[in-house]
Amino acid sequence: MNKRIVVYKTLSPALLERLQQHVAVTQVDLTASDGLARLREVLPGAHGLLGASLPLGSDLLDLAPDLQVVSSISVGVDNYDIPDLTRRRVMLTHTPDVLTETTADTGFALLLASARRVVELANWVRDGHWHKSLGPAHFGTDVQGKTLGIVGMGRIGDALARRAAAGFGMRVLYHSNHRKPDAEARHGARYRSLDALLGEADFVCLTVPLSASTEGLIGARELALMKPGAILVNIARGRVVDEAALIEALRDGRIGGAGLDVFEQEPLPADSPLLRLSNVVATPHIGSATHETREAMARCAVDNLLEALAGERPRYWVNPF
């Protein structure tokens, strides 16, 4: 057991035990007030890091000259400078696949909640306003039979398309870097340019990874292209959308609503104007947050890390060299 790793996310006892059978484990609680200082203390001598939700910049990597692998418990890798890790010959691994269905469920939950005003009206009932039967002022909009535009047709986009086409009889449009013949054949999905998709879809769901080319992808111009009353769902990353422009479009009633699981700043500040808009459903980045899926992601991350430290090629290696 000559390899040492640092775990900075809570793991189940079973996974921790599995790790401890192979490597020496130091746990760091990043939610503690001295968490980051403690991490800095233990980085020298670490061969592996296992965790999530921490931007790992060169200030931290410089402290870990023996580092061989960063095993992220996430599919998204926007917290890492991949070229820098590659230059340092540090493997980066992630956990796709196991979270696909759960994250697509989150997208659909936001889509349905926004269309049918579930959160707004549930709060209205809770606040004691339900005294007579409802009129049009409280009606929502149909989902079945409408058009869903998926921006980013990767694994999660595909799972959304399946739900939309098979479950809700929706017409599916998509925009992606490459055409996806499989999705076209299986879900009847049709390729569109981004602008055309925005102009045709009743619901636009964002699933693209955050990168230099997707940052700010949806700004004032793109929001103006959306159909009046259309609903935007973001399960990608907050910075894919220009949040100030979104707030304006929602305030003006330019678009019908938004279901948002991700934000420019997370946790979302309590004074965010988004929280004062009744046509916004905001959830706290719960894309993959179920007991089963988070355990499966952690298991996948443990496998990746152990494979890397054993000198094998990890299954989900982001920066092969």
The catalytically annotated residue of 47, 163, 237, 294 is: 237
**74 belongs to the binding site for ligand DGY (CB under 6 A):** yes
Decide if residue 51 touches ligand DGY (CB under 6 A). Answer: no
> Would you count residue 76 as binding ligand DGY (CB under 6 A)?
yes
**Least Cβ distance, residue 183 to ligand DGY (angstroms):** 21
For residue 184, give the nearest of 156, 205, 165, 212 by alpha carbon: 165
CA dist 264 and 315 (Å) reads 31
Identity of the residue, 7 or 99, whose beta carbon is nearer to ligand DGY in the bound complex: 99
Residue 115's CB is within 10 A of a number of other CB atoms, namely: 22
Among 28, 56, 75, 170, binds ligand DGY (CB under 6 A): 75
Distance CA 118, CA 80 (A): 36
Amino acid at 245: A
Which of 285, 294, 299, 307 is the catalytic position? 285
User: Within positions 275 to 294, which residues make up the interface with ligand DGY, using CB under 6 A?
Assistant: 287-288
**307 has catalytic annotation:** no
Q: Which two tokens stand for residue 48?
A: 């592996």
Minimum Å gap between C-beta 159 and ligand DGY is 14
| Binding positions for ligand DGY, 88-147, rule CB under 6 A | 99
Catalytic residue among 266, 276, 312, 315: 266
Who contacts 251 (Cβ-Cβ below 8 Å, separation ≥6)? 273, 277
Beta-bridge partner residues of 148? 172, 203
When asked if residue 234 is in the footprint of ligand DGY (CB under 6 A), the reply is no
Containing 204, the helix (H) or strand (E) segment is strand 203-206
Query: Contact region for ligand DGY (CB under 6 A) — 68-76, 111-119, 140-148, 310-318?
Result: 68-76
Smaller CB distance to ligand DGY: residue 147 or 234? 234
- Please report whether residue 241 would count as binding ligand DGY according to CB under 6 A: no
Stretch of 72-80, 122-130, 137-145, 175-183 contacting ligand DGY, by CB under 6 A = 72-80
The size of the interface with ligand DGY (CB under 6 A), counted in residues, is 6
Tokens standing for residue 150:
């998926």
- The helix (H) or strand (E) run that includes residue 13 is helix 13-20
266 is catalytic: yes
Residue type, 45: G
To ligand DGY, the closest distance from the beta carbon of 52 in angstroms equals 6
- DSSP string of 14-33, one letter each residue: HHHHHHHTTSEEEE--TTST
In angstroms, give the least distance from the CB of 29 to ligand DGY: 18
CB 245 within 8 A of CB 220: yes
| Residue 285 annotated to the active site | yes
Cα 168 to chain center, whole Å?
23
Closest to ligand DGY by CB, 256 or 287? 287
Q: At what angle do helices 100-115 and 155-162 cross, to 10 degrees?
A: 50
Q: How far apart are CA 230 and CA 238, in angstroms?
A: 19
Closest CA to 15 of 297, 308, 273: 297
Catalytic residue positions, numbered: 237, 266, 285
- Which residue ranges make up the site for ligand DGY (CB under 6 A)? 74-76, 99, 287-288
